[in-house]
Structure 1
């Protein structure tokens, strides 16, 4: 499973890296694409849950680092206006 870092730009202009233990997260986002907040959250949840699930199938436990990334995303999103758009800057 190749670790993947997705960098997002929040509406306030700050960029934040998001860790995923699997490249499956890249199926959810495209560099240069901006996502409405609700869509962004759904994609992040699905992608990070899938990535963590892959770790669980291989090693017998979920990826706590991926779940921490999701927790940070959800906390940050809670402070955004409903009409916010989140930009995917890069996937590495």
Structure 2
């Protein structure tokens, strides 16, 4: 299953490299696009859950790496101002 690495820039300027176990994330995030924090969280949740579901369908178990990535994103977002924006810088 092809994995995807994507880099985001948080509202405070910090850049973070993120992981998806599947290309499913491409349907939810686009490189070069800036999202309001809430929308980014929704898109990341949907995309990473979908990616984990694809792993489960193929291998019989959910992807813990996708869920760990989602937990890191949600934890980081909780410390930021809700009006902030997140930019998806790249996807590869």
Q: Within 5 Å, which residues of 2 pair with 1:41-56?
A: 41-56=41-56
Which residue does 2:6 correspond to in 1? 6
Which residue does 2:77 correspond to in 1? 77
Q: Secondary structure, in 3 states, of the residue corresponding to 1:31?
A: coil
Alpha-carbon RMSD: 0.6
* CA displacement at 1:12 relative to structure 2: 1.5
5+ long unaligned stretches in structure 1? none
Matches of 1:58 and 1:9 in 2, distance apart?
A: 32
* CA displacement at 1:17 relative to structure 2: 1.2
CA offsets 1:6-54 (integer angstroms, 9 cap, x no match): 1100112111111101011011111111100110000000000000000
* Residue correspondences, number: 92
Q: TM-score, normalised by structure 2?
A: 0.97
Matches of 1:68 and 1:16 in 2, distance apart?
A: 14
5+ long unaligned stretches in structure 2? none
